[in-house]
Structure 1
Amino acid sequence: MTSDLVVTVYTTPRCVQCRPTLRALTAAGIQVVEVDLGEHPDAIDWITDDLGYSHSPVVVVDDHQHWSGFRPDLISQLSERSA
């Protein structure tokens, strides 16, 4: 089952937590748009300056909900919300 919820995940090429985050979101039925910061360096300032994160992945659900790192607890909450 796939939900209508779409999240954006900002990744970097050697990110250890990025693949598990993408897999967990997909397994939870959440649609993902992956943005590789290596290919889109223009987004780095927004991630660091506006959102305040310094490592990837950065998961953006909406203007008020976002996080950095592999967070299975938050992915579960999203999955429950979108069910």
Structure 2
Amino acid sequence: MTLTIYTKSSGCFGCTKTKQKFLEAGLSFHEVDITANQAAFEYITEELGYSQAPVVVYDRDGTENHWSGLNPSRIAQVISIETAAMAHQS
């Protein structure tokens, strides 16, 4: 599983809440600041077509899923999948 969150460095409520929810669930992620990384900014705007941060890119077993903005239902879905996977491994 890879989880990447493309964020803005400050003033982004959705970015902060998204990261908080994943941290509270014990999931690790890679954070990329799109205000400091031009290639990442171009990736989320030109390749993925988003104009709002955060952008979450979730990959499990080669299947990529992504969305833009604060999306509690999608966050909960990823947490549920990963929690079940961790429990299954134990």
Instruction: Say whether the fold is shared (TM-score over 0.5).
Output: yes
List alignment gaps of at least 5 residues for structure 1: none
- For 1:26, the equivalent position in structure 2 comes to 23
- For 2:39, the equivalent position in structure 1 comes to 42
Using the alignment, how far apart are the partners of 1:78 and 1:59 within structure 2? 10
- For 1:55, the equivalent position in structure 2 comes to 52
Kindly report structure 1 stretches of 4+ aligned residues shifted beyond 4 Å: none
Using the alignment, how far apart are the partners of 2:14 and 2:80 within structure 1? 22
- For 1:10, the equivalent position in structure 2 comes to 6
Alpha-carbon RMSD: 1.4
* Larger Rg belongs to: 2
| Percentage of identical aligned residues | 38
Deviation, 1:29, is 1.9
Deviation, 1:44, is 1.3
- Aligned residues, how many? 79
Q: Is the 8 A contact 1:28 1:76 kept in 2?
A: no
Deviation, 1:80, is 1.2
Deviation, 1:64, is 2.7
SS at match of 1:55: coil
SS at match of 2:49: coil
State the AA in 1 paired with 2:14.
Q
